[in-house]
Amino acid sequence: MNEELYICGCGGSDYVRGDRLRQGGDCESAELIQADPKRVQAALRSIQSMSSLGDRTPTVTQACMRPCTDDALPVMGAIPGVSGAWASFGHNCWGILWAPVSGLAMAELIADGTCSCLDLKPFSPARYVRPSDTSRGRKKGSVPVGEQW
């Protein structure tokens, strides 16, 4: 039997950010992302117990990076402070399944100014915006405008 054995979705993902993603980092390209051997073996044992694979082992083991936010929720909605800008990203491995409702939600938001197909509040980009520090900067009237205006 010359068939390849491919197993994906072993889980146990590492959260990667910052310098690890930049040039020279250990995750700067997909080829550098390594599967956790313990997770691969656990997945293989599980699959072997439910199938007729016998002693076959994976031909290739690999890992990937998925777009995940810190709270594991996607980001969808208007970008605070930027008129006419919206975002829809961070759906993790569920992007394909989320695509239809995400597309509809964003189309409604952009065309109508509101989304009626789902509540976007939990996914708002505003959850990543820090309140402005009012102890510094200047104001133009009552509007904070930063260090200079």
Tell whether pTM > 0.75. no
Q: Do 63 and 51 contact (CB within 8 A), yes or no?
A: no
Copy the structure tokens of residue 66. Answer: 């998925």
Computed over every residue of the chain, the mean pLDDT equals 80
Asked if residue 82 has pLDDT above 60, the reply is yes
Report which DSSP code applies to 30.
G
Q: What burial class does residue 74 get, using C-beta atoms within 10 Å of its C-beta: 0-12 exposed, 13-18 middle, 19+ buried?
A: buried
Which residues are CB-contacts of 36 (< 8 A; sequence separation ≥ 6)? 10, 12, 63
Compute φ and ψ for 77, nearest 5 degrees: 145, -175
Residue with tokens 């969808």: 76
Q: What is the pLDDT of residues 38-61, one digit of tens each?
A: 888 888 888 888 888 777 777 777
Confidence check: pLDDT of 12 > 70: no
Asked if residue 24 lies in contact with residue 53, where contact means CB atoms within 8 angstroms, the answer is no
H-run or E-run covering 25:
none
